[in-house]
Amino acid sequence: AIYRQAASDPDPSLHRAGEKALQAIGGQVDPQITLVGGSSARASDIERLRQFALSHLADPRKGEELFFENKDIACGQCHAAAGRGAGTSGPDLSGLASRSDKVQLIRFLLEPSQRVAAAHQPVKSLAGTLTPLEFTDLIGFLERLKQPAAERNTRRTASVPGNDQESVRNRQSP
């Protein structure tokens, strides 16, 4: 009974532990609270994460670490961002925050399959994968992605010594 209660808990870590314990003893998890990939994402979980992210401060550095290093969510396997990440199957998220506000970023992460092109694999919701604080930190990282990759690369090139306009003109002058 305690494992079933944990498996239906809205806290992602308790839910995962309860699911694992039930599976280990041959019990069943309610299929209504399990999505593709094994993540729970009930409406209450989604709303709780949404409200938490809107009302708490994020640590963008921890969010960046989650994005690139957390194997459970593996964002960097499909997406690049801030000049990092090996992903090419998903869009480069650099510049995302310049065209999306915090509410939209939260929606993108909580309801990803509604926005993923049919050619790409379905992306599972983070509602059953991250704690509210981890989710908030990830949003904080994405909020910092205001500069598109093309602009970042142009600025990086322009800052190389000898690549400023005067140096280029001097090299072109006889």
Domain-wise residue ranges, the chain: 1-34, 35-149
Which distant-in-sequence residues (6+ apart) come within 8 Å of 103 by Cβ? 54
Say how many Å lie between the first and final Cα of the chain, rounded: 85
**Whole-structure pTM value:** 0.60
pLDDT at 165: 46
Q: Whose CA is closest to 143, among 80, 70, 94, 86? A: 94
Give residue-wise pLDDT tens across range 17-66: 777 776 777 765 544 443 333 344 577 888 888 999 999 999 999 999 99
35-149: which CATH topology?
A: Cytochrome Bc1 Complex; Chain D, domain 2 (1.10.760)
